[in-house]
Amino acid sequence: MAAADETLPAVWSGLDKLPEMDEEQFDRWVELLRDRTGMCMPRERKSFLVTSVGLRMREVGYADYEAYMDYLVSGRGGNLEWTTLVDRLTVHETRFFRDGQSVEFVRRECLPAMKERIRAGGTVQIWSAGCSTGEEAFTLAMIMEEELQASNLGGYYGVIGSDISLHSLAAAKQGIYHSRRLAQIPERFRELYCEPLGANRFRLADRLRRRACFAQSNILEAAQTPFAPLDLIYCQNVLIYFDRERRRRILDGLTERLREGGALVLAPGEVIGWSHPEMQRAGGDSVLAFRRRSA
């Protein structure tokens, strides 16, 4: 345990300077992150890694990077600590109705086929991959609810949100957000699905939260996920963490999870040069999307 290490200070001062991380140490941390998550940490982001690792290292009482890494790779306690560190090393930038053109593509090009499946007695499954704290998953649930209500359709659909960060998933499962996020949600949806919760928070309505479930998953393992054949995979600003070869593997894995006619929606400019024999480009110039070919 860290507390038993005589080289550790009894108390870290917030004014203490973080220790330097030499190039060899940096390479070891990059390799550990790549091996365990698949994510890349380019050298120009060294200061971000040093700050994130160093501050967490202080919090748990370690004085140097080597001792902290040794703890991370040894035993159950290290595994638990690793989940916290990964949360610090991933950027959880998300919002409701992010990238309006992609949302509109889903509404215009994807929802009609989903409604027909439900009308015929089938079920619809949507995957928000890299969902962070859940805003994009709930955005998809909102527009799906609206379309079903407008068509007077019942039936079943579900939105699966996945992320590598347990902390983010815990927030998503609660469905509670700060009131400043209300400005991101169109007024008609605010009235239907947002319930005030105290002075500065709101909670999404039960009927919306019941449509969504959240699970930890590394997108590198997309081909092995147990999800049913999917009608839509919505994956925005996740692939930026990976090198080109891993991006290809991820996209190939996502393709395997789509049913025929299902769509994959990415962030604009996130992928260049990827192609797959079972996928065809969709979405026009303003949206980066692909559709799995029908037999």
Quick check: is 200 in a domain? Answer: yes
Name the 3-class secondary structure at 8.
Answer: coil
The verdict on 136 and 271 lying in the same domain is: yes
Asked if 142 and 264 sit in the same domain, the reply is yes
- The CATH number of whichever domain residue 117 belongs to comes to 3.40.50.150
In a domain, 94, yes or no: no
pLDDT band at 16 (very low <50, low <70, confident <90, very high): low
First vs last C-alpha separation in the chain = 58
Report whether pLDDT(250) > 80: yes
pLDDT at 28 over 50: yes
Q: Which of residues 67, 89, 111 is at a domain's end?
A: 89
- Confidence check: pLDDT of 268 > 90: no
Verify that 15 and 82 share a domain, yes or no.
yes
Residue 292 in this model has a pLDDT that exceeds 50: yes
Residue 268, helix vs strand vs coil: coil
Count of domains forming the chain = 2
Write the DSSP string, 105-142: HIIIIIHHHHHHHHHTT--EEEEEET-TTSHHHHHHHH
The pLDDT value recorded for residue 39 is 81
